Amino acid sequence: MAGLKVHHEENRDGVVYFELEGLLDPHNFEVLEALFEKHFAAEVYRFVIDLRRLQYVSSSGAGVFIGAVGTCQDNDGNIILVQPSQEVKEIFELLGVYQIFPVLQTKLQAVDYFAKKVQ
Amino acid sequence: MLFFRAMHKTATLREDFKIHAEASKLFEFRERLYRICTDEGIPPQPARLMVLAVDEAISNIIEHAKLPENDNKIGVSVEIDEHQLVVRISDRGKPFDPRPIRREPDGCAYPRRGFGLYLIQKIVNQIDYERTSDGSNMLKLTKSID
């Protein structure tokens, strides 16, 4: 059945990693919104999100990322998007999301990104 | 693309259906519209984008149109010929003309919502809107497939 799944959520040294699978649309974007809010409440503002298995993002889903990245960057954090699928890439390109988020090809690159910020 | 369709299908396809105004039903609708498009020879990328545009339009209706409880279905009509893909969306909600509004995501302000109309306008070639005499909204999205 279609929906959104969050996999492998873990907090390592203040950076939260998770993977999204499925469809992020008006029916379920609040799941992602709640996930960010949970981590913001714990004062975590650094995220690495694997988008390889996310097949669809509507504007309401992209809006969650765009809304959350402001809070992250205001608190010396960021949201790094890793390896968006072709379908998601097309939508993000239309929205100009790549001007707002670092988009990297591997989780290792994302780890380096935050490690360099700490140095 | 045009050549492909001209070789295989010459008549205009038209398909009409109604969907429930519920966000939980959008997945099935998107699948159906994508299948109609690709079965008619439209390549995956323009088909995906048109599905996104129509999904955004219908999501706006579900969220904002305040459809009457006794008439809360949304009509969808799909028309495909050699040159264009046209989707007409009708509802009985309050009037809303989406054409003048366009907001690009702003890297400084980080607004969460309101990108749907921007996406629609980026994807389709033409948007027509009419408030019909019987009190319906009729939105027509046209995408060239030449």
pLDDT over 60 at A65, yes or no: yes
Choose among A27, A60, A99: nearest Cβ to B24: A27
Counting one residue from chain A and one from chain B, the pairs whose CB atoms sit within 8 A come to: 74
Residue B68 CA: distances (Å) to CA of B11, B30, B139: 37, 24, 18
Q: How much is the ipTM here?
A: 0.85
Sites in chain B below the pLDDT cut of 70: 1-11, 99-113
Q: How confident is the model at residue A115 (pLDDT cuts 50, 70, 90)?
A: confident
Cβ separation B115–A62 shorter than 8 A: yes
| Residue B71, min C-alpha distance to chain A (Å) | 21
Tokens of A26: 């008006």
A residues 44-83 closer than 8 Å to B (CB): 56, 58-60, 62-64, 66-67, 69-70
* Contacts of B74 by beta carbon, 8 Å cutoff, 6+ apart: B18, B19, B20, B21, B58, B61, B62, B67, B89, B90, B91
Rounded CA separation A85/B40 (Å): 25
pLDDT over 90 at A1, yes or no: no
Tokens of A59: 């504007």
Q: Sketch the domain layout of chain A as residue ranges.
A: 4-118
Looking at domain A4-118, which of 3.40.30.10, 3.40.80.10, 3.30.750.24, 3.40.50.2020 is its CATH number? 3.30.750.24
Choose among A26, A63, A87: nearest Cβ to B23: A26
Percent of chain A with pLDDT over 90: 72
Element (H, E) at A21: strand A15-24
Tens digit of each residue's pLDDT (9 = 90 or more) over A15-57:
999 999 999 999 999 999 999 999 999 999 999 999 999 999 9
B123 near A CB under 8 A: yes
Fold of B2-144: Heat Shock Protein 90 (3.30.565)
Rounded CA separation B67/B138 (Å): 14
**Residue in chain B nearest A24 by alpha carbon:** B27
Q: Sketch the domain layout of chain B as residue ranges.
A: 2-144
Question: By CB neighbour count within 10 A (0-12 exposed, 13-18 middle, 19+ buried), where does A20 fall?
Answer: buried
pLDDT at A99: 84
